[in-house]
Structure 1
Amino acid sequence: MKQIKSLTKFSGCSAGILTNQSAFGFEGKYHFEAYSEIVSLKTLFLPEHGLFAELQDQVSGKDLSYLFGDLQIVNLYGDTESSLVPESKILQSLDLIIIDIRDVGSRYYTFLTSAFYMMEAASEIKKNGGKAPIFVIVDSPNPIGTKVEGSPLQVAFESFVGVRTVPHRHGLSPGGLLSYYNLEFHLKLDVAVVPIGVYHPKKFDSFLWVPPSPNIPTQNTCYVYPGQCLLEGTNLSEGRGTTKPFETFGAPYLQGPEKRELDRRLELHQAKSKQIRKLRFLPTFHKFKDQICEGYQLLILDPKKFRSLYFSLFLIKNTKELFPDAFKFLTGVYEFRSDKPAIELLVGDSFLLDYVNGKVSETACLEYLEHQEKQWILKTKDFRY
């Protein structure tokens, strides 16, 4: 694996790594095991869900422990928002931080946000005259390609599930997105990207898919996730507790003539690039545990043409319209934030929130999305490795 061999120039450096089970494959090893044979690996930074994706969403990893010799374990998803950022003294003790973790192509996915928070913290150290580590990004293909969907997240909605300026589906690789952060936010860090193609193929091999988190079981899940993640902010089940999360969705209250009208509208929406399969499902955990839900499976016919975000915005808007008494936006703490409801943090755009609430037409919504997507593609053309 040339990526590992390229680290020989850092032999003897004190290193940390942000990784999980998705960084696997070299000689049948987890990559952090291979790196430890070359650099002086001191610290293992754990993202949300833990090292082996053993934890569900929004579950603290503070009690996780692993026996890897003298390797220090730093949990970046604990009980408090402060746990998301590593302590300065830990970063200053390292010469090198390796980011080797798979992304799924959507801004809500928190792994690269954890990397960004580490980079921000290191940048502050550097600005204050301290020693900041070098960041080495082990790149990998975006599993859903370079297509872009959505609009830049507005600053007012920034959170752990959304970094400002980034659209819902960014179309960048990990190296591209983190390099964008370094330039866009003037972090002025030393960042090296091991480019795509050095080890990883240009495209993911779905037969070699390692789930990066417990509810992304297949590569197909990634195609629907840019839109279906929005259901986390509603009382529609996003399919957690089933074998097809995000592809499966629904609720017990989807009944009667209103359900048949919803069927009709969803079947017509983007009919050439997707199908919906009507079904019933019984979540074993999460929303509506042990309750029969009326719902659907979302089947993608043409990933290049299907707009997951637009579909899910349309789904939420129409469910809200047809089931005004039963449908709800969830309130309470979501990813450490309680000042705004989850749907606002996830949609992240006041114009799109107006669309969901029936204040913007279909035509205006599509035109807005297309314009914002073109702007992002132009803005990030130098980061499309």
Structure 2
Amino acid sequence: MKFIKNLSKLSGCKAGILTNQSAFGWNRKYHFLSYSEYLKIDTLFLPEHGLFAELQDQVSGSDLQYLFGDCNIVNLYGDTEESLVPKQEVLQKLDILIIDIRDVGSRYYTFLTTAYYMLDAVSRLKKNTGKAPLFIVVDSPNPIGDAVEGTPLSQEFESFVGVRSVPHRHGLTPAGLLNYYNETFQLNVELAVISSGVYHPKKYNPSLWIPPSPNIPSQTTCYVYPGQCLLEGTNLSEGRGTTKPFETFGAPYLKGKAKEELDKRLSKHQSSSVLLRPLRFLPTFHKFQGQICEGYQLLVEKPKKFHSLYFTLFFLRQVSELFPEFEYLKGVYEFRSDKPAIELLAGDRKILSYLAGQMTDSDLKSYLEIEEKNWILASKRFRY
């Protein structure tokens, strides 16, 4: 891997770019427009949600159209699982491939999985033809810092919402995680990084936050997402259809004496890092559209001390014990139907055993602490 200061020395190269609206600010423009001033933009690759994050989760972007010169538009979130991987004939036309897109710090978030699929495709192209585009990552800070949560995803659960061996909250920048993939999986791709200090401040400024997708409206959403994304695998609302997705959550059936008991159990496990505000909310779309939900708003007072994954696992365990209406969803999730969504998201048999009531809270905490320390050591050389 090598660091480069800018792309001006590559003037005239035929480029492909994976990007969306989150790559904004350099010269007060969208970055892909700035690149076009000195590179020939041959192909614009779009991730899930589209170029301007206009599509909701798990909605195909195959019908999206944009007018951007004469460049090709390749949507990498279409109607089938095959659409997630760029075709070899598209990549072999390129001199350079630029990854310029923001991450939120959790392995479920699909943007860096898309980038990994592209990295793997470039690796296969190099093996097949002996030639491949230079892979360039425009790095940016991790919006939730370098803290780690969770355990490595087991290979049996690998999917679009989780690459093997990566924990739930990885603590790396985009360049760090992609370089980890490149070296750990022996992809042998020529990878270059534009340092975050060139186009981006060292830390995110919350007042300048640009939603990378529709349901990550603020930086605070990123702090709860490593745990709260697990709600996607349940019949609890994760707050889609509200103005505070993932921070707001609940269901119509969270009521009665069982709700009172749930409140007691949650209050015993609250810490100074988080405050739960009881509320009612009405989702305008998605789960329980138009129905009053009983639930909570998760207010993170001390982000550095809050362990989102443990909170959500504990919450799901209590709900499953107290409410017979609660269930884990079945059916298609991110193109997969062979495993329930909760298995793909949890990604670990021991965590699934905790949710099933087969592991104590203290044992779960100990297990998480050990695995998190292991990841910090394993990923140390990829922290920039």
Q: TM-score, with normalisation over the residues of structure 1?
A: 0.98
Displacement of 1:252 after TM fit? Answer: 0.2
* Residue of structure 2 in register with 1:133 after alignment: 133
1:367 counterpart SS class: helix
Is contact 2:43-2:73 (8 Å) kept? Answer: yes
**Structure 2 residue 5 is matched with structure 1 residue 19:** no
User: 2:102 maps to what in 1?
Assistant: 102
Any gaps of 5 or more consecutive residues in structure 1?
none
Tell me, in whole angstroms, the C-alpha distance in 1 between the residues paired with 2:176 and 2:244: 29
Are 1:268 and 2:255 matched, yes or no? no
Q: 1:5 to 1:373 in 2, by over 3 A?
A: closer
Partner of 2:186: 186
Aligned to 1:374: 373
Note the C-alpha offset of 1:264: 1.5
Name the aligned partner's letter for residue 31 of structure 2.
Answer: H
Amino acid of the structure 2 residue aligned with 1:352: I
Is the Cα–Cα contact under 8 Å of residues 267 and 275 in structure 1 kept in the other structure?
A: no
CA distance in 2, matches of 1:11, 1:374: 43
Provide the secondary structure at the position in 2 that maps to 1:42.
strand
Residue pair 1:227, 1:310 contacting (<8 A) in 2 also: yes
Report how far residue 248 of structure 1 moved: 0.1
Superimposed CA distance per residue, residues 232-277 of structure 1 (whole angstroms, 9 cap, x where no aligned partner):
0000000000000000000000011110111111222242210100
Partners of 2:4 and 2:195 within 8 A in 1: no
Task: Give distance in 2, aligned partners of 1:165 and 1:218.
Answer: 28
Deviation, structure 1 residue 299: 0.4
Is 1:119 the counterpart of 2:131? The answer is no
Q: 5 Å matches for 1:201-280?
A: 201-280=201-280
3-state SS of paired residue (1:128): helix
Amino acid of the structure 2 residue aligned with 1:162: G
Cα pair distance change 1:208/1:4, threshold 3 Å: farther
Which one is further off, 189-198 or 150-159? 189-198
Which is worse superposed, 357-366 or 192-201?
Answer: 192-201
Is contact 2:272-2:301 (8 Å) kept? yes
SS in 1 for 2:7: helix
TM-score by length of 2: 0.98
Pick which of 187-196 and 288-297 moved more: 187-196
Q: 1:353 — aligned with what?
A: 352
Aligned-pair CA distance for 1:4? 10
| 1:5 Cα deviation from its structure 2 partner | 7.0
- Following TM superposition, by how much is the alpha carbon of 1:27 offset from its aligned partner in structure 2, in angstroms? 2.3
Q: Distance in 2 between matches of 1:83 and 1:268?
A: 46
Aligned position for 2:343: 344
**2:327 is the alignment partner of 1:328:** yes
Structure 2: how far apart are the matches of 1:269 and 1:149? 18
Q: Distance in 2 between matches of 1:379 and 1:372?
A: 10
Distance 2:255 2:316 in 1: 16
Q: Does 1:173 align with 2:173?
A: yes
> Structure 2 CA distance, aligned partners of 1:58 and 1:292?
24
Alpha-carbon distance in 2 for matches of 1:334, 1:78: 14
Look up the match of 1:41.
Answer: 41
C-alpha separation in 2, matches of 1:200 and 1:376 = 26
The runs of at least 4 aligned residues of structure 1 exceeding 3 Å deviation read none
Q: Deviations over 1:186-242 (max 9, x none)?
A: 010000011222231111000100000000000000000000000000000000000
Partner letter of residue 86 of structure 2? P
- The Cα of 1:360 is off from its aligned counterpart by 0.3
**Letter of the structure 2 residue corresponding to residue 339 of structure 1:** D
Cα distance in structure 2, aligned partners of 1:129 and 1:296: 54
Q: Which amino acid aligns with 1:240?
A: R
Partner of 1:58: 58
| Structure 2 Cα separation of the partners of residues 269 and 196 of structure 1 | 38
Q: Aligned with 1:21: secondary structure?
A: coil
Does the CA contact (< 8 Å) of 2:5 and 2:195 recur in 1? no
Report if aligned partners of 1:4, 1:34 keep a CA contact under 8 Å in 2.
no
Aligned-pair Cα RMSD in Å: 1.1
Secondary structure, aligned partner of 2:305: coil
Contact 1:278 1:296 in 2 (8 A): yes
